[in-house]
Amino acid sequence: MARKPNLILIGIDSMRADHMSLYGYPRLTTPHMDRYAAGGAAFENAFSPSIPTTPGYGSMLTGMDCLSTDVVALRHEGGLGKHNVTLPEILEKQGYNTTCVGFSGNPASRGFQKYIDFEGWGSREQGRSHKAENLNTVTIPELKRLAGEDKPFFLFMRHMDPHSPYLPPLPFERIFYAGNELDKANKSLDPVMTFKPFCDYFASWFPIGCTDKDYIIAQYDGAVAYMDACIANIFSSIAELGIEEETLVVIDSDHGETLYDHDCYFDHHGLYDCTLHIPLVFVYPGKVPAGARFKDICQMKDIMPTILDLLGIKAGIKFDGRSLVPLMDGKPRTPEPEFYITECTWMRKHGWRTPQWKLMHALEPDFHFKPEVELYDLVRDPEENTNLAEKEPAVVAMLEARMLAWLAKREKETGRKAPIYTNLNWHGVGCGPFKTSQQAYDTMHIGSPGAAKGLQAKELQTQRGQEKL
């Protein structure tokens, strides 16, 4: 019997699709991924509907939506429910060796045989941050080990370069910036540095005296370009090991990023498309058509069914997601153009997205003092700058009704209340839902990269104790 194909999954934390040259961004941020993706299929309208990391990757690694995973919050309490089966758990039963790099301790990563950590953060005091090189240092030897075994393997890498703090090494710091970031006449960072919940965090890694928002955006783009150059080492290692023809490579992200958008500065909260829209690429010579581009809307939950389909594995699970292989084979696939969206990072909101409309409904007051309901016309206002909720009450009512009907259907199917309603300690401060925006503004705070790292390191002992369950 022929050996099953290998799987390499490159998950890029906070990778905003519209800042990749792969998707038309004018800055050449991802030349190596662009070339590699040309050997396979790229999806132009892939979305992570439940952000941030924990629910996003939870959906990716189960093939389920947030009603099935019961996960919507970054700071999810407890492990991933036993009613879910993860991709590494399925592949282990199929005889795979499984390794996860950089995601130990998160409930969404349950089931890998081996976890390897690397330094994926950084601070101004530490100097420029070599995140992707740190990842390669531990990953490439592991890739060689896995390729040398007599079993197929699943290797998952969680790249951290686009995640703040944006501190790309030289020369990437200035490849997209030729201005003066200390120009005192530039006031563009004034609103950023007066936003109390985040200003101390920003001050810990912005250059001292920095005034220009475009410098910070250039750091994000530089971090992407630096990471792309390092990912080229992964691609060349695959080639040198001679496993290209027997390996499925997938590139995606858990969510995008807000930069200077919507007052959600340099982070990934807010249900705007800059945060929901992610890259998605499949490369597998002979199985995935080279040079293919698809505009069909797809979601995180579709990734696992697609992977198993390409690997030729039948899991016997009724996924919420659906395989994208029919599109790759030139066959029809029933579209899913409208879908439910959630966020539970710094605010607790949900909503409904259609090809034309985006509804966002805050379930408690947020720390940006935004209105409870936001409505955007994605056709006329793709950057989501004009809230039409008051002008279009009939559209709001229609979308709210569709969202609530879908939720009622899914609650009946799962036998559980929607998790957006039950995760009332999502912020981790123990006070229950915020009653006012001022309370949220005064309560929510992040002070340093170390504090940010701590938010992602959830219950390491508990999770590690569950790895073999």
**Closest alpha carbon to 251 in 50, 4, 5, 13:** 13
Residue type present at position 378: L
Q: Distance between CA 469 and CA 466 in Å, rounded? A: 5
Question: Is the same domain home to 92 and 178?
Answer: yes
Question: Is the same domain home to 327 and 371?
Answer: no
Q: Is residue 462 part of a domain?
A: no
Q: Is residue 65 part of a domain?
A: yes
Calculate the CA 37 to chain-centre distance.
Answer: 19
Which pLDDT score is estimated for 451?
60
Q: Is residue 456 part of a domain?
A: no
pLDDT digit string, tens, across residues 350-377: 999 999 999 999 999 999 999 999 999 9
Tracing tokens 């992570």 back to the chain, one arrives at 48
Residue type present at position 134: N
Which pLDDT score is estimated for 127?
74
Phi, psi of 343 (to 5 degrees): -145, 145
Q: Distance between CA 321 and CA 60 in Å, rounded? A: 9
Q: Is residue 415 part of a domain?
A: yes
For 259-326, give the DSSP string: SSSTT-TTBS-SSSHHHHEE-EEEE-TTTS-TTEEEEEEEEGGGHHHHHHHHHT-------SS--SHH
Q: Is residue 454 part of a domain?
A: no
Q: What CATH number does residue 312 fall under?
A: 3.40.720.10
- Last residue in a domain, options 331, 352, 385: 331
- Last residue in a domain, options 280, 304, 331: 331
Distances (CA, A) of 37 to 42, 70, 294: 7, 33, 13
Asked if residue 86 lies in contact with residue 68, where contact means CB atoms within 8 angstroms, the answer is no
State which residues of the chain have pLDDT below 50: 456, 458-469
Which pLDDT score is estimated for 122?
73
Which pLDDT score is estimated for 450?
64
Largest CA distance in the chain: 69
Which pLDDT score is estimated for 457?
52
Tracing tokens 């940006």 back to the chain, one arrives at 368
Calculate the CA 187 to chain-centre distance.
Answer: 31
Question: Is the same domain home to 142 and 253?
Answer: yes
* Burial of residue 100, with CB atoms counted within 10 A of its CB: 0-12 exposed, 13-18 middle, 19 or more buried: buried
Angle at 62 between CA 317 and CA 239, to 5 degrees: 105
SS (H, E, C) 24-83: CCCCCCCHHHHHHHCCCEEEEEEECCEECHHHHHHHHCCCCCHHHHCCCCCCCCCCCCCC
Distances (CA, A) of 126 to 67, 198, 239: 41, 20, 34
Q: What CATH number does residue 418 fall under?
A: 3.30.1120.10
pLDDT digit string, tens, across residues 131-143: 999 999 999 999 9
* Parent domain of 302: 6-331
* Cis peptide, bond prior to residue 141, ω within 30 of zero: no
- Last residue in a domain, options 331, 364, 398: 331
Question: Is the same domain home to 371 and 414?
Answer: yes
For 97, the token pair is 């060796």
Q: Is residue 398 part of a domain?
A: yes
For 355, the token pair is 């090809």
Angle at 330 between CA 328 and CA 332, to 5 degrees: 100
Question: Is the same domain home to 347 and 250?
Answer: no
Q: Is residue 419 part of a domain?
A: yes
Residue 431 DSSP one-character state: S
How many folded domains does the chain comprise? Answer: 2
Asked if residue 54 lies in contact with residue 71, where contact means CB atoms within 8 angstroms, the answer is yes
Question: Is the same domain home to 381 and 263?
Answer: no
Phi, psi of 223 (to 5 degrees): -65, -40
Which pLDDT score is estimated for 3?
83
Residue 23 DSSP one-character state: G
CB proximity list for 73: less than 8 A, separation 6 or greater: 54, 55, 344, 345, 419, 423, 426
pTM comes to: 0.94
Task: Find the length of the chain.
Answer: 469
Q: Distance between CA 308 and CA 216 in Å, rounded? A: 39
Which pLDDT score is estimated for 469?
36
Question: Is the same domain home to 346 and 379?
Answer: yes
Question: Is the same domain home to 375 and 320?
Answer: no
Asked if residue 446 lies in contact with residue 196, where contact means CB atoms within 8 angstroms, the answer is no
Question: Is the same domain home to 178 and 134?
Answer: yes
Q: Distance between CA 458 and CA 437 in Å, rounded? A: 26
* Bridge partner list, 43: 294
Which pLDDT score is estimated for 120?
79
For 349, the token pair is 């909101």
Question: Is the same domain home to 200 and 152?
Answer: yes
* Bridge partner list, 281: 42, 251
Question: Is the same domain home to 108 and 221?
Answer: yes
Q: Is residue 439 part of a domain?
A: yes
Question: Is the same domain home to 76 and 24?
Answer: yes
